Amino acid sequence: MKIALIGVTGMVGRVILDLIKERNLFFEDIFLVASAASIGKQINFLNKNYSIISLEKAINLGPDIAIFTAGRQVSLKWAPKFAEKGTIVIDNSSAWRMDNGTKLIIPEINGSILTLEDKIIANPNCSTIQMLMVLAPIHKNFKIKRIIVSTYQSVTGTGMKAVKQLENEYKGENGEMAYNYPIHQNAIPHCDDFLQNGYTKEEMKLLNETHKILDSKIKISATAVRVPVIGGHSESINITLENSFEISEIITLLNNTSGVTVEDDPAKLKYPMPIFCKGKDEVFVGRIREDFSEKNSLNLWVVSDNLRKGAATNAVQIIENIIQKGFVK
C-alpha cells in the first residue's frame, strides 16, 4: 500500500504520522506533501528520511490512498484529480462533507456503508465527530428529537498560528494574531465565519453533518466558542428523546460503546477535561444527568482531543476500515 499525506507539516498532518506509527499501519511507501515553501525539506519518519514533494509529483507516483489535510481549497482542486487516477481520497477539510455523492464517515457509526466505488471519503468536523460518538448509540436506542449544544473549542482547531498567539499572550509578548481579539483569559463566541443567518459555519456544520450522518429529522441548535485551551474540545449537550429512559441505562449504554469512555463520578470530582484527554483517541463523557425542566431530556459533557479522534484518528480508522474490506492491500 502506498500512502500520500497532503499537508504533512500542519498540526493534523503531524498527528497522522504519529498514528501511522502507533497503530502499526503497514505501507510499502509514503509520499509526504506540503506547500511549495516546504518542498525538498526532510522529515525523518520510522528512522528513514523522506523529502517533501509536490502534489504533482505525488499524483504521478500513484498512491493507493491520499489523506488530505491541507485545507478546503487544496481539496477541492486536487482530490478529484487523485480520485480519477484510482486513488482513494480521505479528506479532512470541509470541501466534500455536504456533497451529495460523497459519504461522511465516522467508522464506528457508519463505516459499513463504504463501498469500492467511494473514491473521495469525507472526514466530519471535529466537533461533530465527538458529539455523534456519544449521541449515535443513544439515538439508536431512544431516538433523539432535539439537540442543544454549546462547544468550548481548543485553539488547536484554528492551527499553529492560534497556538502561538495564546503562548505569546500568556508570556506578555506581542506577535501575529490568529483571532480578532486576545484569546488568553478570554472566550470568543466566534468559530469560523459568520453566515447571513447569524450562525457561524462551525455551528452549521454541527447541524448539517449530524443530519447527514445520523438523522435529518433531529432539531439542532448550536453555539461554538473558542477558549484558551490546547488539549481538546469540550461540549455541553442537552438532548430530548422520544422514549423515556433511566440515567443508569444511558451510562450502561455508553460504557458499552467502542471509542467512548465514561468518566462520571461527581462524588470523587471525576469528569472529563481537555487537560487529561490530550493525546488520547477516546471520546470522554461525563456529567450525565436528567434535565428536570423538560420531559425525556438529559445533559452530557463531552470532551475529546480534536487533533486525534476529531481529525487524524478518524482518518486513519477510515484507512483501517477500507483495508479490512479489501479495497486496498
My answer on whether 159 and 97 are in the same domain is no
pLDDT at 156: 97
Question: At which residue does the C-alpha cell 453566515 appear?
Answer: 195
| Domain of residue 161, CATH code | 3.30.360.10
Question: At which residue does the C-alpha cell 433511566 appear?
Answer: 246
My answer on whether 198 and 115 are in the same domain is no
- pTM here is 0.97
Find the domain containing 82 and state its range. 2-124+311-324
* 80 within a domain of the structure (yes/no): yes
**3-class secondary-structure state, position 58:** helix
With vertex at residue 98, the alpha carbon angle to CA 97 and CA 104, rounded to the nearest 5 degrees, is 45
pLDDT at 285: 98
Using the predicted structure, report yes or no on whether residue 258 has a pLDDT greater than 80: yes
pLDDT at 273: 98
Q: What is the number of residues in the chain?
A: 329
Backbone dihedral region for residue 132 (phi beyond 0: left; psi -120 to 50: alpha; all else: beta):
alpha
**3-class secondary-structure state, position 246:** coil
My answer on whether 136 and 279 are in the same domain is yes
My answer on whether 116 and 142 are in the same domain is no
My answer on whether 96 and 66 are in the same domain is yes
* 329 within a domain of the structure (yes/no): no
Instruction: Kindly report each contact of residues 292-299 with a partner whose C-beta sits within 8 Å and lies 24 or more positions away, as own/partner.
Output: 294/240, 295/240, 296/142, 296/240, 296/241, 296/242, 296/243, 296/244, 296/245, 297/238, 297/239, 297/240, 297/241, 298/238, 298/239, 298/241, 298/245, 298/247, 298/250, 299/236, 299/237, 299/238
- Residues 196-209 have pLDDT tens digits of 999 999 999 999 99
Active site residue 233: yes
Q: Which one from 139, 191, 233, 277 is the annotated catalytic residue? A: 233
- Neighbouring CB atoms inside 10 A of 56's CB total 10
| Domain of residue 20, CATH code | 3.40.50.720
* 116 within a domain of the structure (yes/no): yes
Task: Report the DSSP beta bridge partners of residue 29.
Answer: 2
My answer on whether 76 and 138 are in the same domain is no
My answer on whether 234 and 278 are in the same domain is yes
- Asked whether 254 and 283 are in contact (CB, 8 A), the reply is no
My answer on whether 89 and 186 are in the same domain is no
Mean pLDDT of 13-41: 96
My answer on whether 146 and 269 are in the same domain is yes
Question: What is the Cα–Cα distance from 29 to 13, expressed in whole angstroms?
Answer: 16
pLDDT at 139: 98
- Residues 34-72 have pLDDT tens digits of 999 999 999 999 999 999 999 999 999 999 999 999 999
**Cβ burial, residue 153 (10 Å; 0-12/13-18/19+):** buried
* 236 within a domain of the structure (yes/no): yes
Active site residue 277: no
- Residues 76-118 have pLDDT tens digits of 999 999 999 999 999 999 999 999 999 999 999 999 999 999 9
For residue 69, give the C-alpha cell: 489535510
- When divided into structural domains, the chain yields a total of 2
For residue 6, give the C-alpha cell: 497532503
Question: What is the Cα–Cα distance from 319 to 283, expressed in whole angstroms?
Answer: 20
Strands of 22-140, DSSP E: 29-33, 42-45, 48-51, 65-68, 88-91, 103-104, 120-122
pLDDT-derived band at 329, boundaries 50, 70, 90: confident
**297-304 and 283-290 beta bridge pairing:** antiparallel
- Residues 232-242 have pLDDT tens digits of 999 999 999 99
Q: pLDDT averaged over the chain?
A: 97
Q: What are phi and psi of 191, to 5 degrees?
A: -120, 120
Question: At which residue does the C-alpha cell 461554538 appear?
Answer: 224
With vertex at residue 224, the alpha carbon angle to CA 177 and CA 242, rounded to the nearest 5 degrees, is 170
- Neighbouring CB atoms inside 10 A of 27's CB total 15
Question: At which residue does the C-alpha cell 499525506 appear?
Answer: 5
- pLDDT-above-70 percentage for the chain: 100
My answer on whether 71 and 47 are in the same domain is yes
Using the predicted structure, report yes or no on whether residue 149 has a pLDDT greater than 80: yes
Q: Which one from 126, 139, 191, 277 is the annotated catalytic residue? A: 126
Question: What is the Cα–Cα distance from 180 to 160, expressed in whole angstroms?
Answer: 16
My answer on whether 156 and 89 are in the same domain is no
* 94 within a domain of the structure (yes/no): yes
My answer on whether 103 and 158 are in the same domain is no
